[in-house]
Copies of this chain bind each other. A is one copy, B any other.
Amino acid sequence: MVYEATATAPVNIAVIKYWGKRDTKLILPTNSSLSVTLDQDHLRSTTTSRADASFEAGDRLWLNGKEESIKEGGRLWTCIKELRGWRAAEEAKDAAKPKISTFPLRIASYNNFPTAAGLASSASGLAALVASLAQLYELPQNASDLSRIARQGSGSACRSLFGGYVAWQEGVQADGSDSLAVEVAPREHWPDLHAVICVVSDAKKGTSSTAGMQQTVQTSPLLQARLKVVPQRMADISKAILDKDFDEFAKITIADSNQFHAVCLDTQPPIFYLNDVSRGVIALVEELNRAHVEATGHLLAAYTFDAGPNAVIYAPEANIPTVVAAVNKYFPQAEAFPDPFKVGTAAALPAGFNEAVVPAGGWPKGAVKQLIHTKVGDGPRRLGPEESLLGPDGIPKTLA
């Protein structure tokens, strides 16, 4: 009997940003956040977890084929311990359940997007780990319960336990019991939201978000003001999602991305994630919006940036051809656009679009390396045994 489960989990990109912990051990945030889950058809982490009494003692884990140590007290260790503990409790309640909580684990995880793409892989990776272990252990806990565990692996991972539109409620309890993810709306409620990720080169590795956010907590005089702004934004953007009001959604998304980077800059020493190319994408989207508002009264797209230079541009599906055409025209990419939705790159820009926002001659080829076009997606999926990442010996197949 093989006890194994393989799950995939999605990437999520926040529109209300998480930046700052009030408890670094439990990963309790200083503010609530909200994200859009992206489609696993395009971006996903896959994790296989297997429990087997015949394995040599001790758990082992591989990430993209490279073995990672599971340090006692560390984030991976905490997630595994919590889920195993739940399994043990279930086993104690029901003598018929095999005691697989006592078996050593072998875990293999794989991201289908290159780390070099600069996309936060910890959120999808930890969510896939938690989802696969919950499936392996046949836990009765729901996604919000699991999100509480994933949160302790990587804060934003808690939001990847749901599809659609997801809030991470900061909570007030010291033990973190109410700091968890909840669904604001499922993907089916507003399936029209698409995303174009502009992968931007950056010579210099930025400050890690784990270190950076605590520097902000300790040194930014403006962070406290941000924390007073967020609750209203959470309420307003939740309503915008329920109303499928893209203009309001975009307005808040843009403002919150800029405010997050503002408090980074108000940190000592200052933290910069946006580079000149990021600024160029912002200038482009702002001008597309200005011209589109003039022509139609509506915003065309929203940009948001995590702790790195990559732009994520959200827009209703109908606006995506214009977004892609504009980025493709002024930021010619090093890698050809795979165009999964067949939108092409030839759409007309809004009447009145002012090219003066772009440097003369456009940006050099490769300033934006690659475009990834995806859309709002579903939550973690369960895969069949044929998708297992582990070979019969419990070693990743890629290493066999």
Contact = CB atoms under 8 A, between A and B. Distances in A.
A342 interface: no
Contacts of A221: 225-226, 229, 255, 259
A238 interface: no
A203 B359 contact: yes
Contacts of A335: none
Contact of A268 (B258, B263, B274, B360): B258
A269 B276 CA distance: 16
A231 to B, nearest CB: 12
A94 to B, nearest CB: 53
A270 interface: yes
A32 B212 CA distance: 30
Nearest to A286: B269
Interface in A256-288: 258-259, 261-263, 265-270, 272, 274-276, 279, 282-283, 286
A235 B279 CA distance: 35
A274 to B, nearest CB: 8
A15 to B, nearest CB: 15
B268 A265 contact: no
Interface string A235-255: 000000000000000000011
Contact of A262 (B204, B262, B282, B286): B262
Contacts of A283: 204
A395 interface: no
Contact of A282 (B203, B270, B274): B270
A373 to B, nearest CB: 25
A310 to B, nearest CB: 16
A260 B274 CA distance: 17
A267 B258 CA distance: 8
15 contacts: A203-B359, A221-B226, A221-B259, A222-B222, A222-B229, A222-B262, A225-B225, A255-B268, A258-B265, A261-B265, A265-B265, A269-B282, A269-B286, A270-B286, A276-B276
Given A222-B262, A262-B262, A275-B276, 4 more contacts: A204-B283, A221-B225, A222-B222, A255-B268
